[in-house]
């Protein structure tokens, strides 16, 4: 059950105007839904399980207060299908998970923005519309972890995503255009290694991970992409240190973005005609020391 209402009272300190008529704009919506989740699972053996899953869901509709007309948009609905496998092998030293999924979305909510210059300032107007037809999302997810030795553990993951949205009419210019699902890379993956061993009555732990992502769109309406990324992080720690107070102490040295990679993770061409594109950059290499006490 979803019930909402709203009123747009002012635009630029004046009553909003639609079709030449000035006045407050109102929005009212009420939605009742039942969204099932059904899972069928089968144990192939004590260590291997396969499953199939079906579910439906929705994303609430509404109206954007950044719209000059308080234009409303409908809920987004989805049907999702997934089959997968979860298994432990080699005397539980190797764990593998795999899943294939499909999502069919109707009335996908797409954001369109328009930057206009008003005197010495700019205004960013936002309209959300529902895409026609069915948005098709297909994907594969793989995960694995291997206990190589008593001390060393390796893990990895990979995700492939294919997303196709029907062309949608831009409400600002009336032109049908290609649109995208923001921040959805076709390929993304990670690898990690963890080491743990006794050290002078305590425990030494080391961790390193590397994470890759294809370039993606930052906005639904713009084809321009941010940068692909490859970020490495690390951590060294001495833990399980006994203290006189009976607590256990851990001291860790951590670092993010060890290779000091520079990545534009958000790129926006909205102001290209006036101020040019702008982008947001990731954090540079950062590091620190963390002390944790557990009672």
Are 97 and 85 spatial neighbours (Cβ–Cβ below 8 Å)? yes
Residues 6+ apart with CB under 8 A from 46: none
Element (H, E) at 172: none
The position carrying tokens 């299908």 is 81
pTM of this prediction?
0.88
Single out the residue of 280, 230, 237 nearest to residue 257, CA to CA: 230
Single out the residue of 196, 199, 192, 115 nearest to residue 151, CA to CA: 196
pLDDT of residue 154: 99
C-alpha to C-alpha distance for 213 and 229, rounded to whole angstroms:
5
204-240: burial string, b at 16+ Cβ within 10 Å, e else: bbebbbbeebbbbbbbbbbeeebbebebbbbbebbbb
C-alpha to C-alpha distance for 126 and 171, rounded to whole angstroms:
10
Strands (E), 148-285: 152-164, 168-169, 176-177, 187-199, 202-213, 229-242, 248-256, 264-268, 278-281
The position carrying tokens 């519309």 is 129
Single out the residue of 189, 192, 190, 191 nearest to residue 159, CA to CA: 189
Note the pLDDT tens digit of each residue in 176-231.
999 999 999 999 999 999 999 999 999 999 999 999 999 999 999 999 999 999 99
8-state DSSP, 166: -
Question: What mean pLDDT value characterizes the chain?
Answer: 94
C-alpha to C-alpha distance for 143 and 87, rounded to whole angstroms:
11
Among 80-89, 108-117, 257-266, 279-288, the least confident range = 108-117
Half-sphere exposure of residue 129: CA atoms within 13 angstroms, side-chain side: 21
Are 215 and 227 spatial neighbours (Cβ–Cβ below 8 Å)? yes
Exposed (0-12), middle (13-18) or buried (19+): which is 70, by Cβ within 10 Å? buried
Note the pLDDT tens digit of each residue in 15-54.
988 888 999 999 898 889 999 999 999 999 999 999 999 9
């Amino acid at each position: 059950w979803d019930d909402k209402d709203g009123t747009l009272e002012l635009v630029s300190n004046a009553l909003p105007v639609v079709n030449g008529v000035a006045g407050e704009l109102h929005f009212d919506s009420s939605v009742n839904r039942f969204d099932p989740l059904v899972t069928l699972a089968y144990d192939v053996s004590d260590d291997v399980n396969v499953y199939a899953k079906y579910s439906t869901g929705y994303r609430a509709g509404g109206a954007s207060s950044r719209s000059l007309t308080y234009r409303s948009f409908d809920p987004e609905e989805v049907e999702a299908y997934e089959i997968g496998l979860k298994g432990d092998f080699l005397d539980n030293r190797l764990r593998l998970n795999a899943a294939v999924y499909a999502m069919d979305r109707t009335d996908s909510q797409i954001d369109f923005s328009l930057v206009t210059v008003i005197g010495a300032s700019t205004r960013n107007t936002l309209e959300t519309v529902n895409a026609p037809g069915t948005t098709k999302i297909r994907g594969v997810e793989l995960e694995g972890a291997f206990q190589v030795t008593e001390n060393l553990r390796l893990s990895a993951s990979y995700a492939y995503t294919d997303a196709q949205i029907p062309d949608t009419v831009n409400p600002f210019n009336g032109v049908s255009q290609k649109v995208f699902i923001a921040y959805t890379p076709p390929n993304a993956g990670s690898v990690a290694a963890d080491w743990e061993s006794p050290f002078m009555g305590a425990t030494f732990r080391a961790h390193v991970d590397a994470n890759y992502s294809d370039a993606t769109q930052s906005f639904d309406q713009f084809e321009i992409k941010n940068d692909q990324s490859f970020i490495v992080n690390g951590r060294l720690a001495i833990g399980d240190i006994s203290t006189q107070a009976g607590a256990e102490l851990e001291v860790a040295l951590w670092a993010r973005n060890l290779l000091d990679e520079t990545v534009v993770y958000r790129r926006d061409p909205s102001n290209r005609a006036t101020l040019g594109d702008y982008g947001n950059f990731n954090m540079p290499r950062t590091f620190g020391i963390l002390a944790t006490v557990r009672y």
